[in-house]
Structure 1
């Protein structure tokens, strides 16, 4: 495994980090807790020491699963990355969206990051995770009802109390990062990034490279689209966030699969999977520090961890990028 420091925070994480959104079941069509715990343990055995979670994933369930998984692991060898600022149990702040919980009940999700709320969320997360500190605490989405400075001052207090080691943001623009940096030293920004979603290359990547901030790329497999296993017209349950996603329309899946067919021979010559090749290309991109990858079971977790073993020459990275450029030039 490869490890990297997040900015200049002193916090080192595994470049492949276990993403536990799917483990919480929410928006992924349910979960099997034992499978998720086994997946985390299998990842850890292969050097994936970092786990990313959030209270909203399964409305606390994902954090509880992570807490169960790390009980038998040495706490100082595991990095827990969790978040705050998305409330399903309160109606304050900026209304985000309507959803359903794992029991199928309607919930309203609010983006809310006022100081008192953050303090409560931190205590709740520590309890669910069964630990007394969080390695990286990240605001999940910007909250336009609370000044960024007030939010960051609250998280800085948690650092001073020893409950948080490093401060990160998620889904923040460059301007929002600049505002936060007036108050705290940001370690990282967690943002969506994949072969077919590269808009952060315009502004977030250059800013983070210049100011020595880490980028944690989430959805690097684009919700499974880049595995090559999705077929045009494939059915997803209504509770699955892929069901209405434009990238999962038949014509989009057809185009992406045609691109994947062009790089498939490279994966075969390296005796690796398409997914592993995709992850290795992602980590080879400028500014991308970490790829967050989900797994529902130990087998998937092992495959993800072994992506780090794939060796790509600069010429091979360029070849893949050229094929991608051709894909982007095609009409949607």
Structure 2
């Protein structure tokens, strides 16, 4: 599997990152089976978060790492400082609390990748980066990143880090997919638009995309008339996205693949480093992801898929 390099990590990161929001303590056989399949295609990085499954995702990962002696071989990306019922909590206290609990759940004293799960634009970037740098210096974190931060805030963070001689964000994890979001999936989530794509290309910041395959929009299960999935209707139903789907199907037919594999390839063929967070639950789905990740698209094909060319 192809990999990318993230500043702060000695090990590369596989372009397909395994999502673990279904990893729980009561399904160890499924976790083990999926991990065997993921490792078999060359994957080496897991995505989790402090809030996933009420903490069970991190606990299940820690248990699996212990039982398979994989600490140090697998990159773990976890996230913290998510908002709660009282509102934003992107601050040094919340970061420390969430990180220390995450490390305990993961049965480790170090996590390769740590991201802030949400942003709070009311908080200056300086204190946030300073707090994260303390944990890098303490050896608890390899690389820091931001999930669901706008490119404007990422730019401000990069400028602060440069001006103050500290470590800035080495990666970002918003939504990027061939289907463009009409509105956020959840409050304060960020999906990349054309302006954002230009910024990432200019700055070459690695982007780890969640919902890279648009939550099944390209699976063939949905049509403009099928409005059973309210969230998918709200976020992805648009004339432009139906045309993107049509083009993905046309290109897939030429290449002997499926539209959803074309959609995955679109994310992984950007002119800047990218990874895709995936969530396959079967051998067939895992192999589909592998085949999509192996596909190389030309710049002309990318522009045509995204409606930049007729």
TM over 0.5: yes
Tell me if the contact between 2:179 and 2:244 (Cα under 8 Å) persists in the aligned partners.
no
How far apart are residue 246 of structure 1 and its match? 0.8
Tell me if the contact between 1:230 and 1:253 (Cα under 8 Å) persists in the aligned partners.
no
Where 1:186 maps in the other structure, the secondary structure is: coil
Where 2:256 maps in the other structure, the secondary structure is: coil
Where 1:226 maps in the other structure, the secondary structure is: coil
Q: Paired residue for 1:76, among 46, 59, 72?
A: 72
1:131 aligns with 2:125: no
Tell me if the contact between 2:111 and 2:141 (Cα under 8 Å) persists in the aligned partners.
yes
Tell me if the contact between 1:7 and 1:213 (Cα under 8 Å) persists in the aligned partners.
no
User: Could you tell me which residue of structure 2 aligns to residue 67 of structure 1?
Assistant: 62
- Taking a change above 3 Å as real, the CA distance of residues 259 and 176 of structure 1, as seen in their structure-2 partners, is closer
Cα separation, 2, equivalents of 1:7 and 1:18: 20
Per-residue CA deviation, residues 143-169 of structure 1 (Å, 9 max, x unaligned), is 246443222212111111111001101
Q: Paired residue for 2:278, among 270, 288, 293?
A: 293
1:247 aligns with 2:247: no
How far apart are residue 307 of structure 1 and its match? 1.8
Tell me if the contact between 2:8 and 2:142 (Cα under 8 Å) persists in the aligned partners.
no
Structure 2 unaligned residues grouped into runs of 5+: 162-166, 182-190
Where 1:220 maps in the other structure, the secondary structure is: coil
Cα separation, 2, equivalents of 1:210 and 1:259: 25
Per-residue CA deviation, residues 87-146 of structure 1 (Å, 9 max, x unaligned), is 55xx55xx2xxxxxxxxxxxxxxx312212211211111122222211111011112464
Query: What TM-score, normalized to structure 2?
Result: 0.81
Per-residue CA deviation, residues 194-240 of structure 1 (Å, 9 max, x unaligned), is 1122763444333333334211122111111122223543535xxxx
More strand by share: 1
Cα separation, 1, equivalents of 2:275 and 2:41: 16
How far apart are residue 52 of structure 1 and its match? 1.3
How far apart are residue 170 of structure 1 and its match? 1.3
User: Could you tell me which residue of structure 1 aligns to residue 262 of structure 2?
Assistant: 277
Cα separation, 1, equivalents of 2:23 and 2:282: 13
Query: What TM-score, normalized to structure 1?
Result: 0.76
Q: Paired residue for 1:86, among 70, 82, 85?
A: 82
- Taking a change above 3 Å as real, the CA distance of residues 60 and 282 of structure 1, as seen in their structure-2 partners, is same
1:143 aligns with 2:126: no
Q: Paired residue for 1:152, among 112, 116, 129?
A: 129
How far apart are residue 282 of structure 1 and its match? 1.8
Tell me if the contact between 1:159 and 1:166 (Cα under 8 Å) persists in the aligned partners.
yes
Cα separation, 1, equivalents of 2:133 and 2:64: 28
Q: Counterparts in 2 of 1:91-106, with a 5 A limit?
A: 95=87
User: Could you tell me which residue of structure 1 aligns to residue 201 of structure 2?
Assistant: 209
Number of residue pairs aligned between Structure 1 and Structure 2: 292
CA RMSD of aligned residues (A): 3.0
